[in-house]
């Protein structure tokens, strides 16, 4: 998987530009569907990553890119990662991309690109 560009509002992976958050599950890239988490936005001031979203748990490591650091990750997500015995890394998206480039094997991701 090649990350070719990342800037506010877009990310280019393997020659395809996405202008929305993405979910990477075992090498497949698709749109993050955050509708289930929107109801928690009032408590965080921003739509968080919640356990009610589709999260790609079939991995050894899950990298969550939080944009510039604005996207909160709810505590239940962290607890579920522990329950699955998955290493969870919560980083600004630029740093998350670096981690994914360095060691992508067994790693899934959710990358927030819009702030």
pLDDT digits 0-9 by tens, 63-101: 999 999 889 999 999 999 999 999 999 999 999 999 999
Residue-wise pLDDT for 31-61, tens only, equals: 999 999 999 999 999 999 999 999 999 999 9
Per-residue pLDDT band at 115 (split at 50, 70, 90): confident
When the pLDDT of each residue in the chain is averaged and rounded to a whole number, the result is 95
Per-residue pLDDT band at 22 (split at 50, 70, 90): very high
What is the reported pLDDT for 101?
93
DSSP run (H or E) holding 12: strand 10-13
Q: Is the Cα torsion angle 16, 48, 99, 107 positive or negative in sign? A: negative
pLDDT higher than 90, residue 114:
no
CA distance 113 to 115: 6
CA distance 16 to 52: 27
| CATH of the structural domain 20-112, one choice from 3.30.530.20, 1.10.3720.10, 3.20.20.70, 3.40.1230.10 | 3.40.1230.10
Task: Name the residue among 2, 6, 56 with its Cα closest to residue 30.
Answer: 56
Structural domain spans, the chain: 20-112
What is the reported pLDDT for 103?
84
Asked if 109 and 62 touch (Cβ cutoff 8 Å), the reply is yes
User: How far out from the chain centre does Cα 111 lie?
Assistant: 3
At 21, list the tokens. 């958050």
């Amino acid at each position: 998987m090649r990350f070719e560009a990342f800037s506010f509002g877009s990310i280019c992976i393997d020659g395809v530009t996405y202008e929305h958050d993405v979910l990477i599950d075992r090498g497949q890239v698709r749109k993050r569907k955050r509708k289930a988490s929107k109801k928690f936005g009032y408590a965080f001031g921003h739509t968080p990553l919640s356990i009610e979203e589709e999260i790609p748990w079939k991995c050894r490591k899950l990298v969550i890119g939080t944009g510039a650091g604005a996207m909160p990750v709810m505590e239940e997500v962290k607890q579920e990662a522990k329950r699955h015995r998955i290493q969870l890394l919560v980083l600004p998206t630029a740093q998350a991309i670096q981690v994914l480039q360095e060691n992508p094997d067994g790693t899934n991701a959710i990358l927030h690109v819009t702030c």
